[in-house]
A and B are shown apart, each in its own frame.
Chain A
Amino acid sequence: MADTPMLEIKNLVKVYGRDERRAVDDISFTIEKGAFFGLLGPNGAGKSTTIHCITGIAQPTSGEILVDGVNVVTDYKTARTKVGLSPQEFNVDIFATPEQLMDFMGGYYGIKKEVREKRIEELIERFDLQKHRHMKFQKLSGGLKRRAMLGRALVHTPDLLILDEPTAGVDVEQRHDLWQYLKEMNERGKTIILTSHYLEEIQYLCNEIAIINNGKIVKQGSKEEFMRDGKSVEQTYLEVTKNLRK
């Protein structure tokens, strides 16, 4: 019997506001366990809205989302324990410290104190936050903020990790260090969804890619398919989006 996919999205529609703007327009796709999935698209294409529907930040208008076979609307408590999110915006209490952010998030996920403390120590060490663990979030540099956000997203060891622009504002060295960590995590079996405007990042990390535009999936395939005929992912992306603009 085939393994349950990590994520199944079936005919997802998300309509916003009185003008009934369709931010996501009947999209369907499946992500298998262990995949590193890149979700590309211009600003306002529907990437973040899709992520918000998966994580519970937004309510789908219609359609179905299953995380590891669990419906995110009807069995949302179970589904949410399986997903970790590092969002594009710093949606944190800016007066809290990185350690507190991980501690509170772990607590919200119901992780007991002794387990939580152990995980936080491991994450602080992994993301090299020892010297900054007690600094207020607002005092941290862009790179340190991103690392704190990643630690927060991983504190409950989610099966599916969603990274929305995780390297925005991060310097080159730190970005490469982060790539290495994400690659290692994926090699150990973690399913990851990544959105990024750095297409070399997508090319380096992802093995499955989809392009979303105007709320619709306009191209989806393996990295090899995106890099056919010696093209880079960026060239394929520009071709697809250029054709759509015509």
Chain B
Amino acid sequence: MSDNNKTNQEFSDVSNVEALSSFKGVNWVGLYTMFRREVIRTFRVVTQTLVAPVISAALYIFIFGSVIGTRIDDFAGVPYISFVFPGVLMLSIINASFASASSALYFMRFTRGIEEILIAPFSYLEMLIGFVGSAVTRALMVAFLILGVGLLFGAVQLEHPILFVLYVSAVSAIFAMLGIIVALWAEGFEQLQVLNTFVITPLTYLGGIFYSVTFLPELAATLTKLNPFFYFVDGIRSSMIGYSEANTMIGALVTASLVIGLGTLVTQLFRRGWKIRN
């Protein structure tokens, strides 16, 4: 401890060096604080962040399970609702992680609260992990609640739990990073919705969340296989019911490539300080 630190000691018995010891290496306390803050924010607007997606998912499960599902034969060896449930879950995860990351960061830009992060001892990679981890935390909370609703309706199977956790985390991370990019780019609240409205929602619904690709004509099936969302839902579905319609290697490669590619891009944007650092 420097002499200056000794004279600066306005607090009775805690040294500056001791207090700040954890910043050397990874700033674990800082990262935990970012996650904790997002959890507090999630519960501050619990109707919007947790209740709404659960009600929406419950309605999907009820309609596809009890109303339509009872009139449809088992598919891929499982009830129709079990086939559809992974897609419903993915839809909610995507919305939760994208909304969490985009709204949190955009709000911080808008209020200049981002300066709290910029002046703190975070590396650019830690900023990425902090923002993405916070959004994934919210998505996992939503996923957990929807799994609970799915269990009540008998819609949940879990053939490969580790693969399930990996896919859910990876898909959440991908959409959190897209949310970050949109939050950095947007100059108004309306622009926050552009990607969601014109890209994410159409590609999600056309990615086979409610139907099998085998139901489609050949051209449509081929086009679907060019849609990365098809591989996301197929990965989650195969981990839950053990049935896959995609080449699992391609699916894993697409997912991993997007995680790495978007992670690199967002880290570079933070390094450049694009739209956040003057």
Q: Which residues of A contact B (CB under 8 A)?
A: 3, 6, 16, 33-34, 49, 52, 55-59, 68, 76-78, 80-81, 83, 85, 87, 89, 91-95, 100, 104-105, 107-112, 115-116, 118-119, 122, 154, 156-157, 159, 185, 188-190
Q: Which residues of B contact A (CB under 8 A)?
A: 2, 4-5, 7-12, 14, 16, 18-23, 27-30, 32-34, 36-37, 40, 44, 107-108, 111-123, 273, 277-278
Residues of B contacting A118 with CB < 8 Å? 11, 14
Q: How far is the CB of A68 from chain B (nearest CB, A)?
A: 7
Residues of B contacting A109 with CB < 8 Å? 19-20, 23, 30, 120-121
- Whether A156 contacts B8 in the complex (CB less than 8 A), given A57-B278, A77-B121, A110-B30, comes out as no
Give the residue of A100, A107, A157, A189 whose beta carbon is less than 8 angstroms from that of B16: A157
B5 touches A159 (CB 8 A): yes
Residues of B contacting A108 with CB < 8 Å? 27, 30, 33-34, 116-117, 120-122
Q: Can you name the residue of chain B whose Cβ is closest to the Cβ of A103?
A: B33
Q: Please report the C-alpha to C-alpha distance between residue A88 and residue B107 in the assembled complex, in whole angstroms.
A: 19
Tally the A-B contacts, defined by beta carbons under 8 Å: 136
Q: How far is the CB of A77 from chain B (nearest CB, A)?
A: 4
Residues of A contacting B40 with CB < 8 Å? 100
A107 touches B33 (CB 8 A): yes
Q: Please report the C-alpha to C-alpha distance between residue A57 and residue B10 in the assembled complex, in whole angstroms.
A: 26
Supply 28 A–B pairs (Cβ within 8 Å), ascending by A: A57-B115, A57-B277, A59-B277, A77-B121, A78-B121, A80-B119, A85-B115, A85-B119, A91-B111, A91-B116, A92-B116, A93-B108, A94-B111, A108-B33, A108-B121, A108-B122, A111-B19, A112-B29, A115-B14, A115-B19, A122-B12, A154-B10, A157-B8, A157-B11, A188-B8, A188-B9, A188-B10, A189-B8
A52 touches B278 (CB 8 A): yes
- The dominant DSSP class at the B interface is helix
Q: How far is the CB of B126 from chain A (nearest CB, A)?
A: 9
Give the residue of B19, B117, B122 whose beta carbon is less than 8 angstroms from that of A157: B19
Q: Please report the C-alpha to C-alpha distance between residue A190 and residue B4 in the assembled complex, in whole angstroms.
A: 8
Q: Can you name the residue of chain B whose Cβ is closest to the Cβ of A55?
A: B119
Q: Please report the C-alpha to C-alpha distance between residue A6 and residue B5 in the assembled complex, in whole angstroms.
A: 11
A33 touches B4 (CB 8 A): yes
Q: How far is the CB of A113 from chain B (nearest CB, A)?
A: 8
Q: Please report the C-alpha to C-alpha distance between residue A222 and residue B16 in the assembled complex, in whole angstroms.
A: 30
Q: How far is the CB of B119 from chain A (nearest CB, A)?
A: 5
B30 touches A159 (CB 8 A): no
Q: Please report the C-alpha to C-alpha distance between residue A104 and residue B117 in the assembled complex, in whole angstroms.
A: 10
Residues of B contacting A89 with CB < 8 Å? 112
A115 touches B22 (CB 8 A): no
Q: Please report the C-alpha to C-alpha distance between residue A100 and residue B10 in the assembled complex, in whole angstroms.
A: 21
